[in-house]
Amino acid sequence: MKDNKLKKELLKLEELSSCYLYISTSDSVLEDRVESVKKFLKGKINFDTDFKIFSGAEEIDEEEFNNYISTPSLFSPKKIVVIKYIEKVSANLQKKVINLISSNSNGSANVIFIITASKQKFNPALLDTIRKAGKVIQLKSPLSSSLKKWLEERSESDGIKFTERAASLLIENVNLDLNLLKKEYEKLYDYISSEAKKVIDEDTVRFLVSRIYSLKIFDLVDYLGKRDKDNSLKALRSILEEGQNLIGLVTLIHRMFKCFLYIKSGNSKSSVTDYIENNIKVPPYFVGKLVSKYIKLSDNYTEDEVLKVFEILNKYDISFRINTIEGKHLVKKLISEIIDIDV
Protein backbone atom coordinates (compact mmCIF):
# COMPACT_ATOMS: atom_id res chain seq x y z
CA MET A 1 0.00 0.00 0.00
CA LYS A 2 1.22 3.48 -0.86
CA ASP A 3 1.61 5.91 2.07
CA ASN A 4 -0.16 8.70 0.17
CA LYS A 5 -3.18 6.42 -0.33
CA LEU A 6 -3.39 5.83 3.42
CA LYS A 7 -3.13 9.57 4.05
CA LYS A 8 -6.15 10.14 1.82
CA GLU A 9 -8.09 7.64 3.97
CA LEU A 10 -6.98 8.88 7.40
CA LEU A 11 -6.34 12.59 6.77
CA LYS A 12 -5.48 14.36 10.07
CA LEU A 13 -5.78 12.68 13.46
CA GLU A 14 -8.42 15.19 14.59
CA GLU A 15 -10.53 14.46 11.49
CA LEU A 16 -10.63 10.67 11.82
CA SER A 17 -13.93 8.83 11.65
CA SER A 18 -14.85 6.69 14.63
CA CYS A 19 -13.93 3.49 12.78
CA TYR A 20 -12.26 2.01 9.72
CA LEU A 21 -12.90 -1.51 8.48
CA TYR A 22 -10.33 -3.06 6.12
CA ILE A 23 -11.38 -6.23 4.28
CA SER A 24 -9.08 -8.51 2.30
CA THR A 25 -8.70 -12.22 1.56
CA SER A 26 -4.95 -11.76 2.10
CA ASP A 27 -3.75 -11.85 5.72
CA SER A 28 -0.45 -10.28 4.70
CA VAL A 29 -2.24 -7.30 3.13
CA LEU A 30 -4.22 -6.76 6.34
CA GLU A 31 -1.08 -7.02 8.49
CA ASP A 32 0.67 -4.57 6.20
CA ARG A 33 -2.22 -2.11 6.56
CA VAL A 34 -2.07 -2.28 10.38
CA GLU A 35 1.67 -1.57 10.23
CA SER A 36 1.04 1.37 7.90
CA VAL A 37 -1.56 2.78 10.29
CA LYS A 38 0.99 2.54 13.11
CA LYS A 39 3.51 4.48 11.02
CA PHE A 40 0.86 7.11 10.29
CA LEU A 41 0.15 7.51 14.02
CA LYS A 42 3.80 7.72 15.03
CA GLY A 43 4.41 11.00 16.85
CA LYS A 44 0.67 11.70 16.99
CA ILE A 45 -0.30 9.53 19.98
CA ASN A 46 1.32 7.86 22.98
CA PHE A 47 1.69 4.21 21.95
CA ASP A 48 2.31 3.00 25.52
CA THR A 49 -1.10 4.10 26.80
CA ASP A 50 -3.29 4.88 23.79
CA PHE A 51 -2.70 2.17 21.18
CA LYS A 52 -3.65 -1.47 21.66
CA ILE A 53 -4.20 -4.46 19.36
CA PHE A 54 -6.73 -7.23 20.01
CA SER A 55 -6.93 -10.24 17.69
CA GLY A 56 -9.97 -12.39 17.00
CA ALA A 57 -7.57 -15.18 15.99
CA GLU A 58 -6.89 -15.54 19.72
CA GLU A 59 -9.30 -15.42 22.63
CA ILE A 60 -9.78 -11.78 23.60
CA ASP A 61 -9.92 -11.02 27.31
CA GLU A 62 -13.12 -8.96 27.48
CA GLU A 63 -12.21 -7.48 30.87
CA GLU A 64 -8.91 -6.24 29.45
CA PHE A 65 -10.77 -4.86 26.42
CA ASN A 66 -13.33 -3.07 28.59
CA ASN A 67 -10.66 -1.58 30.84
CA TYR A 68 -8.72 -0.25 27.89
CA ILE A 69 -11.79 1.27 26.24
CA SER A 70 -13.10 2.85 29.46
CA THR A 71 -9.79 4.36 30.57
CA PRO A 72 -9.58 8.01 29.45
CA SER A 73 -6.59 9.11 27.41
CA LEU A 74 -4.33 11.50 29.28
CA PHE A 75 -1.54 11.82 26.73
CA SER A 76 -3.18 11.67 23.25
CA PRO A 77 -6.04 13.47 21.50
CA LYS A 78 -7.39 10.09 20.35
CA LYS A 79 -7.26 6.57 21.72
CA ILE A 80 -6.74 3.82 19.13
CA VAL A 81 -7.98 0.24 19.37
CA VAL A 82 -7.13 -2.27 16.63
CA ILE A 83 -9.31 -5.38 16.32
CA LYS A 84 -7.95 -7.91 13.87
CA TYR A 85 -10.12 -10.66 12.36
CA ILE A 86 -13.37 -9.20 13.65
CA GLU A 87 -15.31 -12.08 12.08
CA LYS A 88 -13.66 -14.42 14.62
CA VAL A 89 -14.52 -12.28 17.65
CA SER A 90 -17.26 -13.57 19.98
CA ALA A 91 -20.83 -12.45 19.29
CA ASN A 92 -20.98 -10.76 22.70
CA LEU A 93 -17.89 -8.66 22.04
CA GLN A 94 -19.02 -7.82 18.51
CA LYS A 95 -22.27 -6.49 19.99
CA LYS A 96 -20.28 -4.34 22.41
CA VAL A 97 -18.19 -2.97 19.54
CA ILE A 98 -21.38 -2.08 17.65
CA ASN A 99 -22.69 -0.16 20.67
CA LEU A 100 -19.37 1.62 21.18
CA ILE A 101 -19.16 2.72 17.54
CA SER A 102 -22.80 3.81 17.51
CA SER A 103 -22.34 5.93 20.63
CA ASN A 104 -19.55 7.98 19.05
CA SER A 105 -20.54 10.67 16.58
CA ASN A 106 -18.48 10.95 13.42
CA GLY A 107 -15.51 13.30 13.83
CA SER A 108 -15.73 13.64 17.61
CA ALA A 109 -14.93 10.09 18.73
CA ASN A 110 -12.40 9.76 21.53
CA VAL A 111 -11.81 6.10 20.67
CA ILE A 112 -10.96 5.21 17.08
CA PHE A 113 -11.48 1.64 15.90
CA ILE A 114 -9.19 0.15 13.25
CA ILE A 115 -10.80 -3.17 12.32
CA THR A 116 -9.67 -5.85 9.88
CA ALA A 117 -11.59 -8.78 8.41
CA SER A 118 -10.49 -11.61 6.15
CA LYS A 119 -14.02 -12.55 5.09
CA GLN A 120 -16.69 -10.59 3.27
CA LYS A 121 -19.57 -12.20 5.17
CA PHE A 122 -19.89 -11.46 8.87
CA ASN A 123 -22.29 -9.75 11.29
CA PRO A 124 -24.47 -7.54 9.05
CA ALA A 125 -25.35 -5.26 11.97
CA LEU A 126 -21.65 -4.58 12.56
CA LEU A 127 -21.03 -3.90 8.89
CA ASP A 128 -24.00 -1.54 8.70
CA THR A 129 -22.87 0.33 11.83
CA ILE A 130 -19.35 0.80 10.49
CA ARG A 131 -20.65 2.03 7.14
CA LYS A 132 -22.76 4.68 8.89
CA ALA A 133 -20.08 5.83 11.32
CA GLY A 134 -16.88 5.30 9.41
CA LYS A 135 -15.35 3.77 6.31
CA VAL A 136 -15.30 0.26 4.82
CA ILE A 137 -12.30 -0.28 2.56
CA GLN A 138 -11.69 -3.30 0.33
CA LEU A 139 -8.01 -4.18 -0.15
CA LYS A 140 -6.86 -6.28 -3.08
CA SER A 141 -4.63 -9.31 -2.68
CA PRO A 142 -1.09 -8.89 -4.00
CA LEU A 143 -0.27 -10.03 -7.52
CA SER A 144 2.84 -12.03 -8.31
CA SER A 145 4.05 -9.07 -10.41
CA SER A 146 3.95 -6.70 -7.41
CA LEU A 147 5.88 -9.15 -5.23
CA LYS A 148 8.40 -9.68 -7.99
CA LYS A 149 8.85 -5.93 -8.33
CA TRP A 150 9.44 -5.62 -4.58
CA LEU A 151 11.99 -8.44 -4.73
CA GLU A 152 13.82 -6.87 -7.67
CA GLU A 153 14.01 -3.45 -6.03
CA ARG A 154 15.06 -4.78 -2.64
CA SER A 155 17.73 -7.16 -3.97
CA GLU A 156 19.13 -4.47 -6.27
CA SER A 157 19.48 -2.05 -3.35
CA ASP A 158 21.22 -4.78 -1.34
CA GLY A 159 23.61 -5.60 -4.16
CA ILE A 160 22.47 -9.18 -4.74
CA LYS A 161 20.81 -10.91 -7.67
CA PHE A 162 18.15 -13.62 -8.05
CA THR A 163 18.02 -15.82 -11.11
CA GLU A 164 14.63 -15.76 -12.87
CA ARG A 165 13.75 -19.30 -11.70
CA ALA A 166 14.88 -18.56 -8.14
CA ALA A 167 12.69 -15.44 -7.93
CA SER A 168 9.66 -17.32 -9.30
CA LEU A 169 10.17 -20.23 -6.88
CA LEU A 170 10.55 -17.90 -3.88
CA ILE A 171 7.30 -16.07 -4.69
CA GLU A 172 5.51 -19.38 -5.23
CA ASN A 173 6.83 -20.85 -1.98
CA VAL A 174 5.46 -17.97 0.11
CA ASN A 175 2.05 -18.25 -1.61
CA LEU A 176 1.97 -14.53 -2.53
CA ASP A 177 2.34 -13.49 1.13
CA LEU A 178 4.34 -10.25 1.19
CA ASN A 179 5.17 -10.42 4.89
CA LEU A 180 6.43 -13.97 4.53
CA LEU A 181 8.39 -12.95 1.42
CA LYS A 182 10.16 -10.26 3.45
CA LYS A 183 11.09 -12.77 6.18
CA GLU A 184 12.37 -15.37 3.72
CA TYR A 185 14.28 -12.70 1.82
CA GLU A 186 16.17 -11.79 5.01
CA LYS A 187 17.10 -15.45 5.46
CA LEU A 188 18.45 -15.63 1.91
CA TYR A 189 20.25 -12.29 2.26
CA ASP A 190 22.01 -13.42 5.45
CA TYR A 191 23.17 -16.54 3.63
CA ILE A 192 24.40 -14.92 0.43
CA SER A 193 26.07 -11.92 2.13
CA SER A 194 28.99 -14.13 3.18
CA GLU A 195 29.41 -15.61 -0.31
CA ALA A 196 31.80 -14.18 -2.89
CA LYS A 197 29.21 -14.49 -5.67
CA LYS A 198 26.07 -12.58 -4.70
CA VAL A 199 23.69 -14.60 -6.88
CA ILE A 200 20.81 -16.64 -5.45
CA ASP A 201 19.84 -19.56 -7.65
CA GLU A 202 16.94 -22.00 -7.59
CA ASP A 203 18.84 -24.61 -5.55
CA THR A 204 19.55 -22.05 -2.82
CA VAL A 205 15.87 -21.16 -2.56
CA ARG A 206 14.90 -24.84 -2.40
CA PHE A 207 17.45 -25.43 0.36
CA LEU A 208 16.63 -22.43 2.55
CA VAL A 209 12.97 -21.57 1.94
CA SER A 210 10.31 -24.01 3.11
CA ARG A 211 7.09 -24.25 1.18
CA ILE A 212 4.06 -23.34 3.27
CA TYR A 213 1.81 -26.22 4.37
CA SER A 214 -0.86 -25.71 1.69
CA LEU A 215 1.80 -26.01 -1.01
CA LYS A 216 3.31 -29.11 0.59
CA ILE A 217 -0.08 -30.73 0.25
CA PHE A 218 -0.05 -29.81 -3.44
CA ASP A 219 3.45 -31.33 -3.73
CA LEU A 220 2.12 -34.61 -2.41
CA VAL A 221 -0.83 -34.53 -4.80
CA ASP A 222 1.54 -33.76 -7.69
CA TYR A 223 3.69 -36.78 -6.90
CA LEU A 224 0.56 -38.92 -6.91
CA GLY A 225 -0.27 -37.52 -10.32
CA LYS A 226 3.21 -38.50 -11.49
CA ARG A 227 2.83 -41.96 -9.92
CA ASP A 228 6.02 -41.28 -7.98
CA LYS A 229 5.66 -43.34 -4.80
CA ASP A 230 9.04 -42.53 -3.20
CA ASN A 231 8.58 -38.76 -3.36
CA SER A 232 4.91 -39.07 -2.37
CA LEU A 233 5.94 -40.77 0.86
CA LYS A 234 8.71 -38.21 1.48
CA ALA A 235 6.19 -35.38 1.07
CA LEU A 236 3.82 -37.19 3.43
CA ARG A 237 6.53 -37.47 6.09
CA SER A 238 7.18 -33.74 5.85
CA ILE A 239 3.47 -32.99 6.34
CA LEU A 240 3.19 -35.43 9.26
CA GLU A 241 6.15 -33.79 10.99
CA GLU A 242 4.14 -30.57 11.06
CA GLY A 243 1.24 -32.38 12.72
CA GLN A 244 -1.27 -31.34 10.08
CA ASN A 245 -4.75 -32.84 9.66
CA LEU A 246 -4.86 -35.21 6.70
CA ILE A 247 -8.60 -35.45 6.08
CA GLY A 248 -8.53 -32.62 3.52
CA LEU A 249 -5.94 -34.51 1.50
CA VAL A 250 -8.59 -36.93 0.20
CA THR A 251 -10.58 -33.96 -1.10
CA LEU A 252 -7.57 -32.51 -2.93
CA ILE A 253 -6.72 -35.86 -4.53
CA HIS A 254 -10.36 -36.28 -5.55
CA ARG A 255 -10.33 -32.86 -7.21
CA MET A 256 -7.19 -33.65 -9.18
CA PHE A 257 -8.64 -36.87 -10.53
CA LYS A 258 -11.91 -35.07 -11.26
CA CYS A 259 -9.84 -32.74 -13.47
CA PHE A 260 -8.26 -35.81 -15.11
CA LEU A 261 -11.75 -37.09 -15.87
CA TYR A 262 -12.75 -33.75 -17.43
CA ILE A 263 -9.63 -33.88 -19.61
CA LYS A 264 -10.06 -37.51 -20.65
CA SER A 265 -13.75 -36.97 -21.38
CA GLY A 266 -12.79 -34.42 -24.01
CA ASN A 267 -14.12 -31.40 -22.14
CA SER A 268 -12.54 -28.07 -23.02
CA LYS A 269 -9.68 -26.45 -21.13
CA SER A 270 -12.11 -23.77 -19.97
CA SER A 271 -14.24 -26.40 -18.21
CA VAL A 272 -11.23 -27.61 -16.23
CA THR A 273 -10.32 -24.00 -15.41
CA ASP A 274 -13.85 -23.27 -14.19
CA TYR A 275 -13.79 -26.38 -12.02
CA ILE A 276 -10.47 -25.41 -10.40
CA GLU A 277 -11.56 -21.82 -9.76
CA ASN A 278 -14.77 -22.99 -8.10
CA ASN A 279 -13.31 -25.82 -6.03
CA ILE A 280 -9.68 -25.14 -5.16
CA LYS A 281 -8.77 -22.13 -3.04
CA VAL A 282 -5.56 -20.94 -4.62
CA PRO A 283 -4.53 -17.46 -5.78
CA PRO A 284 -5.42 -16.64 -9.43
CA TYR A 285 -1.70 -16.81 -10.19
CA PHE A 286 -1.79 -20.59 -9.70
CA VAL A 287 -4.96 -21.46 -11.62
CA GLY A 288 -3.36 -21.48 -15.09
CA LYS A 289 -0.38 -23.43 -13.76
CA LEU A 290 -2.69 -26.07 -12.26
CA VAL A 291 -4.63 -26.49 -15.51
CA SER A 292 -1.46 -27.01 -17.55
CA LYS A 293 -0.03 -29.33 -14.92
CA TYR A 294 -3.17 -31.49 -14.72
CA ILE A 295 -3.32 -31.82 -18.49
CA LYS A 296 0.23 -33.17 -18.43
CA LEU A 297 -0.27 -35.41 -15.38
CA SER A 298 -3.47 -36.91 -16.76
CA ASP A 299 -1.33 -38.88 -19.25
CA ASN A 300 -0.10 -41.04 -16.36
CA TYR A 301 -3.52 -42.62 -15.80
CA THR A 302 -6.03 -44.23 -18.15
CA GLU A 303 -9.69 -43.28 -17.93
CA ASP A 304 -10.49 -46.68 -16.35
CA GLU A 305 -7.80 -46.10 -13.73
CA VAL A 306 -9.20 -42.66 -12.94
CA LEU A 307 -12.64 -44.18 -12.37
CA LYS A 308 -11.11 -46.84 -10.13
CA VAL A 309 -9.34 -44.16 -8.08
CA PHE A 310 -12.72 -42.64 -7.20
CA GLU A 311 -13.76 -45.98 -5.68
CA ILE A 312 -10.54 -46.10 -3.65
CA LEU A 313 -10.96 -42.51 -2.46
CA ASN A 314 -14.54 -43.15 -1.37
CA LYS A 315 -13.38 -46.15 0.70
CA TYR A 316 -10.63 -44.20 2.41
CA ASP A 317 -12.79 -41.13 2.96
CA ILE A 318 -15.18 -43.30 4.98
CA SER A 319 -12.26 -44.89 6.87
CA PHE A 320 -10.87 -41.47 7.77
CA ARG A 321 -14.19 -40.35 9.17
CA ILE A 322 -14.79 -43.41 11.35
CA ASN A 323 -11.08 -43.45 12.28
CA THR A 324 -10.71 -47.22 12.06
CA ILE A 325 -6.91 -46.96 11.64
CA GLU A 326 -4.47 -44.19 12.54
CA GLY A 327 -4.59 -41.50 9.84
CA LYS A 328 -0.94 -41.61 8.76
CA HIS A 329 -1.13 -45.35 8.10
CA LEU A 330 -4.30 -44.86 6.09
CA VAL A 331 -2.64 -42.26 3.87
CA LYS A 332 0.36 -44.49 3.22
CA LYS A 333 -1.98 -47.28 2.10
CA LEU A 334 -4.00 -44.81 0.02
CA ILE A 335 -0.87 -43.61 -1.80
CA SER A 336 0.22 -47.16 -2.57
CA GLU A 337 -3.20 -48.22 -3.85
CA ILE A 338 -3.50 -45.23 -6.19
CA ILE A 339 0.00 -45.41 -7.64
CA ASP A 340 -0.03 -49.20 -8.00
CA ILE A 341 -3.61 -49.32 -9.28
CA ASP A 342 -4.34 -52.24 -11.55
CA VAL A 343 -7.54 -52.29 -13.59
Between CA 325 and CA 243, with CA 214 as vertex, the angle to 5 degrees is 40
- Whole-angstrom distance, CA of residue 190 vs CA of residue 258: 44
Query: For the whole model, what pTM was predicted?
Result: 0.51
pLDDT, position 2: 46
Which class for 254: exposed (0-12), middle (13-18), buried (19 or more C-beta within 10 A)?
middle
Closest CA to 284 of 272, 298, 299, 273: 273
- In this prediction, residue 248 carries a pLDDT of 66
**DSSP secondary-structure letter at 63?**
H
Return the pLDDT at 252.
79
Helix axes 213-225, 327-339, angle to 10 degrees: 30
* Mean pLDDT, each 10-residue run in order, the chain (343 residues): 51 77 84 87 90 88 91 86 91 91 68 86 85 88 77 91 90 79 86 84 83 72 91 83 67 86 78 78 68 89 92 79 62 86 77
**pLDDT on residue 83:** 95
